[in-house]
Structures are given as structure tokens and as C-alpha cells.
Structure 1
Amino acid sequence: MFVGHAFLAFGLATILARRFGSEAGPSIISGRIPLRYAVAVGLAAALFASLPDIDVVHAAFQVVSLPDGSTAFDHFWAATSDRHRTTTHSLLVAVVASLGFALWAVRRWMGWLALSGIVLFAAVADGPVGGTVMVLFATFGVVVATVADEVGLSPREIFGASLLGLVVHPFTDLLTGEPPAFFAPLDIVPIANRVEPFVDPTSNLLLAFGTELAVIWFGLVVAVAALGIDPRRHVHVGAVLGVVYAPMAFVLNGASVDNAVPFVATILPVGLTGVISRDRPWTITGGLTFVLTGLAAITLALFAFAVAYVALA
């Protein structure tokens, strides 16, 4: 997934916060729970859920020394595959890091002590590069924890948001690429291969992309519902134009999770259909209509592509 981690974590955390949150939580709506408090917890969880992918940054530094015959794009992904989805995606690290972020909101030195532990583990397991990546992981996590603390979230809520976000992330990676190292730095491999329920590679790509769209929808619907907005009123009928993407099923031969760039690069622009919405996109209402209409168009494009692909087969 690319952004699905964050949307899924946001949706789950917001729902849990509204259902089980303390009435002492910060609110700009009323003295009862809720809106700002739940959304703040959700946003914190979304940011924490994005943290594990910070491990791709080490590859960017390696692009400066390209081997003969390779492009920056090829070298970046080759370098990324060496360390991506390892220590930063570990469930063990998720627990210790979440504790560290929560302790940071209580006593700064306690937080740094806990976070220093995961940096040391990463350095021992993966060398200086692994340790450096974990320093970035811890640093940006501390930034999120600090902001969450400033807006009024308690250490317990920061711990919960962090743990949910960091635990959700590796499981949502199972449909794309290599499975994460769930128990790094321990050499325990509970899932050795990518989840591919279909024999046909294109069907697995459609499943992975459809799952990404589903969790994005989930996060957005939870967000607008928390604001008291009916999302159906912000999907323009013009979204049906997404079905014109169907003929691409006859053009994109061999599309798969490992060869997803042509598919993704051609289906995402369908989202620009959102510009046909009546509202001006520079208003909040217009922006929401643009986003939901565009997402609906992409969803219909995926459905139309799948139907055409099945018919072609």
C-alpha cells in the first residue's frame, strides 16, 4: 500500500476514540466527546502508521552512485528492497516505540531511554544504516507525539494511537511486495510469501489496488461522518465517466503487482474527473466534492477494468 496504512489507521482510531474515548478529551464542539478529540486521535494514528516507510530514505542516498546501465528509478527500488519492511515494520519495535512515544509525553528522558533501545537493536541487527534509519523513525515519531501532546492527548491515548498505527502498517503490506519482518530483529518468519490468492497475476493486482481504494474510502467516510457530512452529497454524477477506462484491459497486457506502474499511472489520472463538480475546488465543500468524485471515478474505473478483463479472459 501507499497511503492505505494511514487511512485505515485513521478510520479505526477515530471510531474507537468516539466509542471509548474519555469525556475529558479535548473538544471544540461541546463538553461531550468528541469531534476534535476523536479526529485528533485518528490523525495521530495515521501519522504513526506512515512512520515505518521512512526506511526507504536510505535508498535515496545510494542513487548518487549508479551502476552502469541502470536508471535512478531501478537503483532506488533495488536498494530499497534490501532494507525496506524490516526493523521499522516489526511488531516488537511497534510496542517499544509506542511506549517510548507515550513516555516522551510524560518525561522526555524516559521516552529517549526507551527509543534509544530500538535504535541500538537496529544498529546491532542492521549496522550503521539500520541504526540511522531507526534514528529517523524515532525522531519523526517524537514529533508526532509532541504535537499530539500539545493538542491535549494523554500519554495513554498517544500510546494507543501509536500502537494501532504501527501494528496496522505491516499487515496492510501483505498484498504488495515482500512480507514485512514482523518480529525483527529476531529471525522469526511467520509469513514468508506475499498473499496472492489468485493464480492470475493481474487479478492479484486488482485485489491489491481494490483493497487500497477500500481503506481510503473507509478513512474518508469516517472523517466526513465525524464532521456530520453526508458523503453521498459530494459525489458528482460525472464520476460515471470512470467506466471509460474499461478498454485499458485490452491494452495493459501482463499487469501485475510486480509490474503495476503502467496500470497505476493510467488509472490514477481518472481521478481528475472530480474537476467537473459544480462547487469551486478552492472551498472546503468544493474540495471534498472534488476528492470524493475523483475517488468514485477511480473506483468505477477499477470495476469496469475488472469486468472487461474477465470478459477478455
Structure 2
Amino acid sequence: MFIGHGLLAFAVAACVADWRGWEPRRALFLGAVAGAFATIPDIDVAYALVGLLEWQVSDGALGASTAFWDASRGVHRSVTHSLVVGAIAAPAFGLFAARSSSARARIARAAAIAVLVGLVVIAALQDGPIAALVMCLFAASGLLVARGVARASTLSPATVALAALWGLWSHPWGDLLTGSPPDWLFPFGAPVLESRLVLHSDPTLNLLGAFGIELATIWLALAVGCRLTDRSLLAAVDRRAGVGVAYGVAALAVTPPTLDVSYHFVFSILGVGLLCGVVRESPLLALPRSRARRLPSSDGLLEITLTALTAVTVALGAYVVVYVVAVPS
């Protein structure tokens, strides 16, 4: 759900800005700001890199991913995913986005840093030094986004704070589908939604449902982007995306995936989408050398993206049909 967090925040924020009458480019920028803040809570996985230090090459690629996620369990979806932390950090990020060099703006930025330092101290007292380190990364990332927004736009601190609040608060909900629930109310210990949401009793269909929701989120973000840039969503899809239907045979050939073991499914179905999106009907070698080296235009990138996403969607649908019809329960 790493990508989905940011794209959901982007789509909703851009839609709201457009509904409020904002100029399309400005609405898209606000959506991008909200999306950037929505990805920040997952900075806590940076600590999991220490797990790779214990990984041996002989363990294979799967061993590397296992070591990574095992190391993340102590901190992932903890302090950075708290709604309480988000409610405190968002106004601080907004204050830090003040563009003026006046004394008032300097005081606002100093107050923002003081609030974030307070969050680091609370994390250290509540959960120890690792939680404090993760909170430091969270605060630094938010400050970096806030300063970037201040330099690149005229958004007010209040608008930045609202975008940050939406991004930070929208993030934890997607984690209910794919992993352990976040620590919603850190530093308070009140239990809220302590178990993962199960979409289907069959573990494979449960995974496919979660994957489908992620795809729907990506489609929503692309639909919003196309609408605000006056592009057609379906016109950019090439017919080669239909090749994705062949992926249905994978339901008969490989071990059914689950949330616990899904790498073979995720990598293979994304590979199908990538091939359908990148491989053109005209071979690259047939192009003049000068054209072959030219980067694709924005419309070309949109065609590649939408064709790849359509291929993945078709592949998912084919896989579900074959799994339900032909695979014994």
C-alpha cells in the first residue's frame, strides 16, 4: 500500500480543491502536497534497513525481504501512524511553511520545531530510543516537504497544515487491509481496531481483494489527474493491454498467494503490466537512432502508465476468474 497512501491523499485533495474552484494546476499541486505528506509515516521502515545487515547472501532474495520485514516489526506502523501525532505535527508543518523572513515567521518556524522536538521526547520516554529515532526521521521529512512547498508555491501555512493533516490522517486506514493495525492513538494506549480487516475467508481471495483496492486507488488518482489536465483516461490505453488476460493461467501453475507469501504473485503480475506498457508494436531497433534515444513525452508516459495499469487490471480479473472456477477450495 506504499503507493496507494499517497495517491489516495492526492486524489481527494485535488478533487476538493477543484470543487472549491481552484485553478487546475494549483489543485494538482495541492494534491501532490497532500500525497507527499501521506507517504511520510512510512519513513519508519528506514529502521528496517538494519535487518539487511544480518542478511547473508546465501539466504537468497526471499531471505533479504524476510530480514527486512522482521526488523521493521518493532517500529513500523507505530509512532508515525498515530492520529494524535498527526494532529500535532500537521499544524507544526504548516507553521514551518511560512515564506516570510519577518520576525513573526521566524517565531512560527521556531515554534514548529519546538513542537516536533516535543514529539521526539515523548517518543523516547514512551517507547525508547528507536522510537525517538523514527520520530526524528518523521519530523525531518515533514519539515523538508513544508520548506519545499514554501519555496515552490504561495500556499498559506493554514492550507499546508490542512493538506498535511489530511495526508497523515488518511495514511493509517489502508494498513488495515495488508498488515497489523497501526498504533492509532500513540502515546495513549487506548485500543482501537486491533485486528486486520479480512475481506474474504479464503486467504488468496483476501489478498486479491486488497490488491484490487490498491489498483482502484491508482485508477482514481489517474482519473483525477486526467480530468484536471483535460486528457482522456481511456483513449490513452493501447490494445496490447489485453495480453494481460493470459495471466489467468498463473492461477493453475503457481502456489496461491496470501498476505503472508505474495511476492511471486505481486512481482509477476506487475511484470506483465510493465511488459505490456513498455513493449511497443513497433520494435525499438527499427527506429532511427536519434529517436530511439529520445525520452517519451508526457503523453507517451501517460500511455505507458495507463496501458500497464490496464494490463494489470485485466490480469487480476483473469486470475480471479480462473482461481474461483478452476482451483479447488
TM (norm. structure 1) is 0.92
Tell me by how many angstroms 1:300 deviates. Answer: 0.4
Q: Between Structure 1 and Structure 2, how many residues are aligned?
A: 302
Match of 2:125 in 1: 124
Q: Which position in structure 1 is the counterpart of 2:204? A: 202
2:245, 2:237 → 1: CA distance?
Answer: 15
Counterpart contact for 2:2–2:39, Cα < 8 Å: no
Matching residue of 2:20: 20
Corresponding residue for 1:5? 5
SS in 2 for 1:232: coil
Q: What is the aligned-residue identity percentage?
A: 39
Q: How does 1:1-313 map to 2 (within 5 A)?
A: 1-20=1-20, 33-66=22-55, 71-106=63-98, 107-150=108-151, 151-271=153-273, 272-276=275-279, 282-312=296-326, 313=328
Deviation (angstroms), 1:197: 2.8
Inter-CA distance 35–278: structure 2 relative to 1 (3 Å threshold): farther
Q: Structure 1 residues 232, 66: CA separation in 2 closer, same or farther (over 3 Å shift)?
A: closer
8 Å CA contact 1:281–1:290 kept in 2: the answer is no
Q: CA deviation at 1:285?
A: 0.8
Task: Provide the rounded CA distance (Å) in 2 between the counterparts of 1:102 and 1:6.
Answer: 18
User: How far apart are the structure 1 equivalents of 2:228 and 2:45?
Assistant: 33
Give 5+ residue unaligned stretches, structure 1.
22-32
After superposition, the CA RMSD in angstroms is 1.9
Contact 1:246 1:305 in 2 (8 A): yes
Question: CA contact under 8 A between 1:5 and 1:169: conserved in structure 2?
Answer: yes
Aligned-pair CA distance for 1:72: 3.2
Residue identity matched to 2:75: R
SS of equivalent to 1:233:
coil
Q: 1:254 to 1:304 in 2, by over 3 A?
A: closer
Query: 2:18 corresponds to which letter in structure 1?
Result: R
1:40, 1:148 within 8 Å by CA — same for their partners in 2?
Answer: no
Deviations 1:126-184 (A, max 9, x none): 21111111111111111111111221111111011111111111001110010111111
Distance 1:104 1:161, change over 3 A: same
For residues 165 and 117 of structure 1, what CA distance do their matches in structure 2 show? 21
Q: What whole-Å deviation, never above 9, does each CA across 1:179-219 have from its counterpart, x for those lacking one?
A: 11111121122111111131100010001100000001101
Quick one: distance in 2 between partners of 1:277 and 1:12?
33
Secondary structure (helix, strand or coil) at the match of 2:53 reads: coil
Q: TM-score scaled by structure 2?
A: 0.87
CA contact (8 A) 1:281 1:287 kept: no
Cα distance in 2, alignment partners of residues 277 and 92 from structure 1: 49
1:192 aligned counterpart, secondary structure: coil
Distance 1:155 1:144 in 2: 12
SS in 2 for 1:167: helix
Q: What SS class does the counterpart of residue 172 from structure 1 fall into?
A: helix
> 1:245-289 CA distances to partner (integer Å, 9 max, x unpaired)?
000111232311111111101100111201245798611111100
Letter in 2 for 1:226: L
**For 1:197 and 1:36, how far apart are their aligned partners in 2?**
37
Cα separation, 1, equivalents of 2:217 and 2:315: 17
Mark the structure with the bigger radius of gyration: 2
Aligned pair in 2 of structure 1 residues 68, 41: CA closer, same or farther (>3 Å)?
closer
Deviation at 1:67, TM superposition (A): 8.9
The secondary structure found in structure 2 opposite 1:253 is coil
Structure 2: 5+ residue runs without aligned partners?
99-107, 283-293
How far is 1:122 from its partner? Answer: 1.3
Q: Which amino acid aligns with 2:23?
A: P
Cα deviation, residue 102, structure 1: 0.8
